Structure 1
C-alpha cells in the first residue's frame, strides 16, 4: 500500500525532503499529496502534478488527509504542528532538533502514545550502518570500558546563512526558544551521535553540563561551542564545534576505551575501528517510518523517546539559566570574503577544537586568550 505523504515546510531544508520523497515515489512506497509553506513554494525541485499546495498546514491536514507528515519548519514551531498532525491520525517525521524542553518532549511523547501513531525524529546520521557498527562494538565491549567520548567539527557559515530567515541566529521568537546555536541545530548530529555512544555504553543519563559558548558576530546564539557532559555513571563527553573554522573537519565522533579507539566521520559514514569493517549506506528515516507504519514489528531508527537525552542537554544549554554566548573580540577573528558570502574565521580554532577533544579540557582551562570560564549546570531529568 502506498503511503500518502505531506510536507510541511517545503522551502529551505524542505527542498531536500522533496527530493528524497521524489526518489521514494519513483520506487513506489510513497506518494506526495500535499505541501505547505507560508512562502511561495520554490520551483526547484518542481512540485509534482496532483500535489496540492497550502499556506496553512491545518488546511493541509484537513483536506489532503495524509498518512505521513514530514515537518520541516523552524524548531520553535515543531510542537504545535506535530500535535496537530498526530491528532489528525498521521505518523510524523519531525526534523531535528525536535523540541526545546523536556516538558514539551513529554507532551509530545504522551500525544504519540495516546494517538497510537509514530513519531520519528530527523537525526538521519543515526541511520548510518557504520554508526550502527560502532554502537554494536561499544555495546559488546570491543573497546573495553570507555574513557571518553568526543566530537569535533569545523564548518563555516557566511552572512547569508544568518540572514536566511527571521529566526536565524536568534535565541527567542515570540517568547519561544528558537534553537539555532551550533550545538543544537547545524551540528546537532554530532551531539546526538555522541550521546548515542554513551547510551549503548551504559553511561546513564547526562547529569552535569559545563559549556563555553561563543559568537563571532552580532547574533544571539553561539557559532562556536564547547560542551563537557558528565553522565550518571561517570563517563565524560566533550563536544567541540565551530561554524567559524579553518580547515574543514566534517564531523568526527571519537570513542576512546581501555582496549582501543574508534573514530566515526558521521556525515560521510567513514568508520576507523581496528579489526572491524563498517558497511556503507544508511537506513532512510522516511522509508523506515513508512515500513514501520505497515508493520509495527519494524523498529523506528530514531523514535522520539531516543532523543530525550538530547532534549535534556538542549534545555541545559539554552534554558533561562544558561549564560548567553560570549563575543570573541575582533583581534581574535578574521573576516574572509565580502558581502553575503563573508565568513568569520577564528585563527587557531582547529587546534583548540582538537585539544579539547583529546584532553576534555575547555578552552578556558587550556589558557586560550579569548576563552571565558564555564559555570556548571545540572542537566534536567525527565
Structure 2
C-alpha cells in the first residue's frame, strides 16, 4: 500500500556522520524532521537552522518519545549505542535506519530480531552500496545465475587515517565503552566496513540476505596507538565454498580503493574507484560485456529507500539487521583474535608530522601484491 503522506522522522545524532542526514532531511519534501536527539547540539553547524525552524532538540531518545512518535528513527550515534537505541525506537513504534556497523557485539543479534518481530518494525542498516541501483541490478543477475558459480571475491582498500581521525571521539579504535559495552572499532568495523559487507551481500541467495561465512583466518596489524587494528588481511570461505579475500589498511601514505575483483565460472566483475569513470564492469568468458554503473557515489539511496518503505510494503529495505548479521559475526571472529594483533616493525614505521599520519613503508606494496595474486601475503611484514 502506498501513501503520499510525509514521513515523520527523528534523527538521533546530528554531529559527525549524522550531519549528512540532517542536511538531507532539512531539504526533503517527503519527510518531516520532527525532532533531533543530541547531547551537544550546539556544536552542529545546523544548530541555528534547527532553532529557526522550531525543530525540538532532546538530550535523550527517551525524552523525545515522551513527547512524540515517529515513523522513522535514524540512528547515527557511536557504535555501542546502536542496539539499545534501535530497540527502544522499535518498541516506541518506529521503523529504524541505523548506521553501520550494526553493533560491535554478536550477542546483540537476537535482541534485534526479537524487537523487530515483536513490534512489527524493520531495522535497516546503512551499508550504502546495498541500496544502490547498480548493486541491486548486479545482484539480481548473480542470483539469476548469469555469472554461474562464484569462485573468489577479493577486495582492496587503502585509506590513510591521521591521528586526528583516531582522536575525533572517545570511542575511536576502542574495544569497550566506559560501561563495558563492546565497541570493537577498527578498519573492518568502520571505515571500510561497506566493502567487506558487500562481498557477503552479493552472494546472498535472496535480495535481502548475505551469504553465511566460515573459516575466518586473519592477519591483524596496527601502527596507530589504538586498542584494535588499522590493517587487516582476512581470508574467508562461504558455506558454499567461495573464497573471500579482504585486504585493508589505514597505515598507508596515499589513498587507493575500494578496488574489487569478483570471479565467477562464467566471467569476472571488476571495480576500481580510482578510474576516471568508475563503474562495475562485467566481462564474460564468451567475450560479452556489461556495465552496471558506479555504486561508490554520494549516497542518499538508503534514506530514499527507507522513506518509501514506510508507506509501501513492497519497498522493504534490502539490507536490514539480518542482512548485516554476517558482517557482525565475522567481526566477532576477528575481535576474538585481538590478542594476536601485531605491531609493525619499528624500522618500517614512518610519521608525517605535517599531517600527523603514521604509515608503514611497505604496506601498500605487500597488500597490492597479495590482492593481485589473490592470496594472503607469503611473508609477514
TM-score of the superposed pair, with normalisation by structure 2: 0.88
1:53-85 C-alpha deviation (Å, 9 max, x unpaired): 111221012213222111111111111111111
- 1:263 pairs, out of 264, 270, 282, with 270
- Runs of 4+ displaced beyond 6 Å: 266-269
For 1:10 and 1:74, the matched residues in 2 are separated by: 11
Q: Is the 8 A contact 1:128 1:269 kept in 2?
A: no
Counterpart of 1:87 in structure 2 is 91
CA contact (8 A) 1:316 1:322 kept: no
SS in 1 for 2:291: coil
Shift of 1:322: 4.5
Aligned residue for 1:229, secondary structure, equals strand
Separation of aligned partners in 1, 2:256 and 2:56: 41
Does residue 317 in structure 1 map to residue 334 in structure 2?
yes
CA RMSD of aligned residues (A): 2.2
Q: How many residues align?
A: 361
The Cα offsets for residues 132-175 of structure 1, whole Å up to 9 and x where unpaired, read as: 23323333333332220011101011111111111111111122
Question: Would you say the 8 A contact 1:169–1:219 is kept in 2?
Answer: yes
Deviations 1:93-140 (A, max 9, x none): 111101233331111111011101121101111112222233233333
1:186 is aligned to: 191
Task: Find the aligned partners of 2:133 and 2:251 in 1 and give their Cα distance.
Answer: 30
Partner of 2:181: 176
* 1:220–1:325 Cα contact (<8 Å) kept: no
From 368, 371, 380, give the equivalent of 1:354: 368
Question: In the superposition, relative to structure 1, how do residues 21 and 265 fare at CA in structure 2: closer, same or farther (>3 Å)?
Answer: farther
SS at match of 1:69: strand
Distance 2:37 2:312 in 1: 28
Task: Specify the alignment match of 1:327 in structure 2.
Answer: 343
Task: Work out whether 1:45 is the aligned partner of 2:59.
Answer: no
Deviates more, 1:205-214 or 1:261-270: 261-270
Q: Residues 269, 39 of structure 1: CA spacing in aligned structure 2 closer, same or farther, 3 A cutoff?
A: farther
Unaligned runs of 5+ in 1: 371-382
What's the counterpart of residue 240 of structure 2?
A: 233
Which residue is 1:374 aligned to? none
Query: Is residue 128–residue 283 contact of structure 1 (8 Å, CA) maintained in 2?
Result: no
Residue number among 45, 57, 61 corresponding to 1:57 in the alignment = 61
Contact 1:91 1:119 in 2 (8 A): yes
Superposed CA deviations along residues 225-254 of structure 1, whole A, max 9, x for unmatched, are: 111111212211011001122442131232
Structure 1 residues 266 and 289, CA, compared in 2 at 3 Å: closer, same or farther?
A: farther
* Counterpart among 78, 87, 97 of residue 82 in structure 2: 78
5+ residue gaps, structure 2: 284-288
Paired residue secondary structure (1:58): helix
Alignment correspondent of 1:373: none
1:337 match: 353
Q: Quote how far apart the aligned CAs of 1:329 are.
A: 2.3
- Residues of 2 paired with 1:62 and 1:203: CA distance? 37
Displacement after TM superposition at 1:296 (Å)? 1.0
Q: Does the aligned pair in 1 maintain the 2:131–2:305 contact within 8 Å?
A: no
Distance 1:90 1:179, change over 3 A: same
Cα deviation digits, residues 285-328 of structure 1 (max 9, x gap): 12211211102122212122211211111111114x64342111
CA distance in structure 1 between the partners assigned to 2:8 and 2:22 by the alignment: 14
TM-score (norm 1): 0.88
Give the CA deviation at 1:283.
Answer: 6.6
Is the aligned partner of 1:68 residue 2:72?
yes
1:249 and 2:278 are equivalent in the alignment: no
Change (3 A) 1:261 1:280: closer
Q: Secondary structure at the match of 2:158?
A: strand
